[in-house]
Structure 1
Amino acid sequence: MDSQGDARRLPFFRSAVVGVLAVAAALAAGHLVASVLNPSASPFFAVGSTAIDLTPTDLKEFAVRQFGTNDKLVLLTGMAVVLLVFAVIAGLLSRRGPRPGMVLAVMLGGLGIAAVLARPDTSFVDILAPGASLVVGAGVFYMLHTRASHKDTVDTPAEGPSRRQFLYTSAGVAVGVGVAGVGGQLIADRVNIEDSRTAVGSLVAAEQAPAIPSDADFAQLGTPRFLTSNRDFYRVDTLLNVPRLRAEDYVLRIHGAVDKELTLRFADIRRMRLVERTITMTCVSNEVGGPYVSTSNFIGVPLRDILDQAGVKPGAEQLFSTSVDGWTAGTPVADVLDRGLLAIGMNGEPLPAEHGFPARMVVPGLYGFVSATKWVVDMEFNKFADKQAYWLKRGWGRTAPIKTQCRIDSPNGFATVRPGKVTVAGVAWAQPRGIAKVEVRADNGPWTPATLATDVNPNTWRMWQAQLDLAPGLHTVECRATDKSGYTQTDQRVAPIPDGATGWHSTTFTSG
């Protein structure tokens, strides 16, 4: 046994602490520098965002199905765990000397630099943030390893200077990590979006949407309320951190196949004639019976009013829109001109930050990935062959019209209800065609027409309810909708990707 070799090696615990603190210091330094330059350049977020972009579509859909709107939190937590394991391994590989850990620190910094360079919303100067991570990570690793290598001897007992020196240095690094991390977040949050939203003031449309009838939903029977609160409106996007774009800094460029290029600031849009439209939005990731459908009173400017100033040239096929973070969507021009809205408000207030403040696109009748660019800063008119949008590059549909669907909201699956008359209630949608009929059936029996709530407009969902006389026992109830074009939804189950799910929704419950 080589006792001399064992003596030269760091203890397991010290090695692990060296690795963990070095990685933490690297991330904190990068976050602090990014908070000054560009929050998107924070290595942790840049790597996470790049991972989202590179993740196969099937895996993304699995994450949405399993974790819903918590998918980003799961990703960040997973990254934190991976980094923790990486840090411990780096420390343990360096028990005999600091070189392996420093090499891994440089590799981790290089990964951050590559991620920042790959992001569409960062510039070359932003690599200073992951560069700081690289330098600080390697430097802290070397410093801590040197302190930890001062072995205790007979003359230097376990509680003597060497142990204390390492503990004090480690504690100092930990405090520095906390200060840098908190300071970076405070600096990044210096752009006060809520103050900017408040400054926008009250949004009163010159053309207000008709009042929602009191019988437009069956909320007392288990359906959603007709209008979704801003807090509860679904959110599915690729962002790990919400852009902090103030209204006073907002600029929208409209160019491409137009007669006259336009540049609009938020104040320009605010002064235009505002309209209010009641619109149901649907995410293509919605499984049959899924929750990613919501309705709001959006306030904004009809895109046709804006585009009439620019003069869209004949032959333009798509409106290629770009978000401030570089995300892109391609929307058929005909749909944009027919019913597109540049929205600046939801349910009577400025758009919430997570829903696109200061401005976003809303085009009823198309799934959000082609029609609902949030934080939109650029609109280019061209042909579909000229540019491919974010999801089109990944094999998703090109035009993505919303498919006729309905959902059972009550009774819940595996619930127990009283026998006899059972009320089944839910919601159906087929924007922009509208819902003409909903039918339900129990246990493969005959279809029964449901009672429809008052129709608001073809671009919104429609609530329904039906009374079924059921004997005690286990029952399965299905629903299907027919839109105003006469199309009845198919029972064939198709996954959401590439252009929307199909199939009848069902629920199984016990009567008795």
Structure 2
Amino acid sequence: MSATTVHPPLVPRRTAAALGVLSVAAALGAGHLVAGLVSPVSSPFLAVGNSAIALAPQWLVDVAKSAFGTADKPVLLAGMALVLVGAAVGVGLLSRGRPQPGVRALVGLGLLGFAAVALSPAFTPVDLLAPAAAAGAGVLALRRLHALALPGTPRAGSGVDRRTMLVGTSALVGFGALAAGGLGQLLGSRLAGSREEVTARLARVALAERAPAIPAGAAFPELGTPTFLTPNADFYRIDTALRIPTQTAADWSLRVHGMVDRELTLTFDDLLARPLRERTVTMICVSNEVGDDYISTADFVGVDLREVLLEAGVAPGADQVLSTSSDGLWTAGTPLEVLLEPDRGALLAVGMNGEALPPEHGFPVRMVVPGLYGYVSATKWVTDLEVTTFDRKQAYWLQRGWGRLGPVKTQSRIDVPRSAGSAPAGAVTVAGIAWSQPVGISRVEVRLDDGPWADAELATEVGGDTWRMWRAVVDAAPGSHVVTVRATDANGVTQTEERAPVLPDGATGHHSVVFTAL
């Protein structure tokens, strides 16, 4: 008579996978909740994502921007979520017999979260509370659910059977994870009241300088160009933040230090007590491909940055202002000589199009520097300005192979007709935008197919710091056509036809559109 082999009880595969997912969900919810209480950027999930952005090679960043544009962050988060679901299923399957293998896997994930939080540029010791809470909640959830799911577990003393207890506990863990995560998100987004107060305060301020009114003939939106001022909701957004920093105006301060005669620390009230100036500025991302739409215009209100630097007293030999965002994830190196130009108009901006800065555009304070691409000038959520040299400190994008100075290049774009679109044969209206900061645009020309260049009609000029709309009429016979545009700046320099990629300091080349005349 052969001996009978006794197999230890195992949690069913599907049940084990579900328990792993619930345990990881509990960990994420607890971490997000504690992060909302202490520091939003200490959420382990977001910290890992931010580390991925910081450590990603430039070629991967370029691929993500090209493939997903401004949706690159949601895509990254979605990808991370899928990876976590897979890892959570693995945690559950490892724990079919005993919880220890899954616990060890959860601890490994927890250590990854600890490392990501600890390596964050804005790290403080209290930030470790979030990954600690995440690891603890995940382990506790897994142990409790495993004990209920393992066949042979005795009935609860209350008389409730094991299956009912498991289902109830699983539901409680799931809903608890969702509630904790949602509450953490809510706690980390406490800006509405602060923004409303700032908007109201700005409405009461007598501006030291007001931007000229936008003339009626400054844009041709009826033809298909953008409106001259871009609504805040439509303003392009490019930054490295997976989660928008949530500093209130009352908690904000700016440190100006480094190669200065006197270090300054400014609060938000200090800024509003200074002369506030309103300036209309077009901002362009260096990642704007020829014909792309990473360009917008707004009325910004703020403090003249040159005046702040002169008050601090710039030491000889300095050639850069290194600005840092409140989460420490973004740094930009701005040429000092540009910021000190008397007519450049660089701002520490607090308002945008008649209201406080939107959270995604830098509330409570951001930098705006006309004539420079954003990667060297447009730091949002700015809290630190260090006067230094390019040799001593390299900003985020400079470390990744981008150019040092980042001046905006003369460019033009066709908005109508649309690429691969159609229009009635005969007189076809062509319209678009052109820009060349800070000098402005003096001429725009269009060409149909291989014909001669012809002058376009320019919209009323608002200023050298803004885009300029244009329109023209071409005579198109039935069939397929190519229309091309080029612009000339106020100094008489025409944009180059030579194609260049965005790396290292901005794209060049003429924009062309293929359309069909019917």
Cross-structure match for 1:91 = 92
Matches within 5 A, 1:329-368: 329-338=332-341, 339=344, 340-368=346-374
Q: Percent identity at matched positions?
A: 54
AA aligned opposite 1:179: A
Matched, 1:146 2:147: yes
Moved more, 375-384 or 305-314: 305-314
AA aligned opposite 2:181: G
In 2: Cα distance, 1:105 partner to 1:144 partner: 14
Moved more, 15-24 or 49-58: 49-58
Contact 1:476 1:509 in 2 (8 A): yes
AA aligned opposite 1:249: D
Q: CA offsets, 1:214-267, max 9 Å, x none?
A: 111111111111111112111110111111122222211111111111111111
Give 1:306's match in structure 2, choosing from 305, 308, 311: 308
Distance 1:458-1:95 versus aligned 2 partners, 3 A rule: same
In 2: Cα distance, 1:510 partner to 1:6 partner: 74
Matched, 1:186 2:186: yes
Task: Report how far residue 493 of structure 1 moved.
Answer: 2.1
* TM-score (structure 1 length as normaliser): 0.95
Matches within 5 A, 1:96-175: 96-151=97-152, 161-175=161-175
AA aligned opposite 1:54: L
In 1: Cα distance, 2:426 partner to 2:206 partner: 49
Contact 1:442 1:476 in 2 (8 A): yes
Task: Report how far residue 190 of structure 1 moved.
Answer: 4.1
State the SS of the aligned residue for 1:228: coil
State the SS of the aligned residue for 1:313: coil
State the SS of the aligned residue for 1:284: coil
AA aligned opposite 1:275: R
Matched, 1:383 2:398: no
In 1: Cα distance, 2:418 partner to 2:206 partner: 39
Task: Report how far residue 141 of structure 1 moved.
Answer: 1.4
Task: Report how far residue 3 of structure 1 moved.
Answer: 10
In 2: Cα distance, 1:273 partner to 1:120 partner: 33
AA aligned opposite 1:314: P
State the SS of the aligned residue for 1:212: coil
In 1: Cα distance, 2:224 partner to 2:175 partner: 51
Tell me, which stretches of 5 or more residues in structure 1 are unaligned?
Answer: none
AA aligned opposite 2:448: A
Task: Report how far residue 114 of structure 1 moved.
Answer: 0.4
Task: Report how far residue 385 of structure 1 moved.
Answer: 0.8
In 2: Cα distance, 1:164 partner to 1:118 partner: 43
Task: Name the Cα RMSD after superposition.
Answer: 2.2
In 1: Cα distance, 2:252 partner to 2:483 partner: 50
Tell me, which stretches of 5 or more residues in structure 2 are unaligned?
Answer: none
AA aligned opposite 2:63: F
Matched, 1:427 2:428: no
Task: Report how far residue 39 of structure 1 moved.
Answer: 1.1
AA aligned opposite 2:215: P
In 2: Cα distance, 1:454 partner to 1:27 partner: 54
AA aligned opposite 1:23: V
Cross-structure match for 2:48 = 47
Task: Report how far residue 151 of structure 1 moved.
Answer: 4.3
In 2: Cα distance, 1:222 partner to 1:10 partner: 62
In 2: Cα distance, 1:501 partner to 1:222 partner: 24
In 2: Cα distance, 1:190 partner to 1:507 partner: 45
Q: CA offsets, 1:131-174, max 9 Å, x none?
A: 11112212211221221112499x99xxx923222212212211
Matches within 5 A, 1:223-372: 223-326=225-328, 327-338=330-341, 339=344, 340-372=346-378
State the SS of the aligned residue for 1:36: helix
State the SS of the aligned residue for 2:242: coil
Contact 1:280 1:295 in 2 (8 A): yes
Q: CA offsets, 1:1-29, max 9 Å, x none?
A: x9967773321210111110010001111
In 2: Cα distance, 1:215 partner to 1:189 partner: 40
Distance 1:204-1:295 versus aligned 2 partners, 3 A rule: farther
In 1: Cα distance, 2:468 partner to 2:150 partner: 70
Cross-structure match for 2:62 = 61
State the SS of the aligned residue for 1:399: coil
Task: Report how far residue 411 of structure 1 moved.
Answer: 0.8
Cross-structure match for 1:454 = 460
Contact 2:199 2:355 in 1 (8 A): no
In 1: Cα distance, 2:202 partner to 2:366 partner: 18
